[in-house]
Amino acid sequence: MTTFMMKNPSTNHSITMKNRFFSFFLIVLVLLPSARADYSDRMKARLSEVVAAKDAGSVGEGVDGFLHLRQSTNKSSAKLVESENADRTQLFKDLARKTGGDVAAVARKFSQGIATKAKSGHWFKKSSGEWVQK
Say what the pLDDT of residue 74 is: 83
Residue 31 pLDDT greater than 90, yes or no: no
pLDDT tens, position by position, 35-59: 556 889 999 999 999 999 999 999 9
Tell which phi-psi region holds residue 74, choosing left (phi > 0), alpha (psi between -120 and 50) or beta.
beta
Q: What letters, b where the CB count within 10 A reaches 16 and e where it falls short, cover 6-35?
A: eeeeeeeeeeeeeeeeeeeeeeeeeeeeee
At 34, the amino acid letter reads S
Per the model's pLDDT, the better-predicted residue between 8 and 122 turns out to be: 122
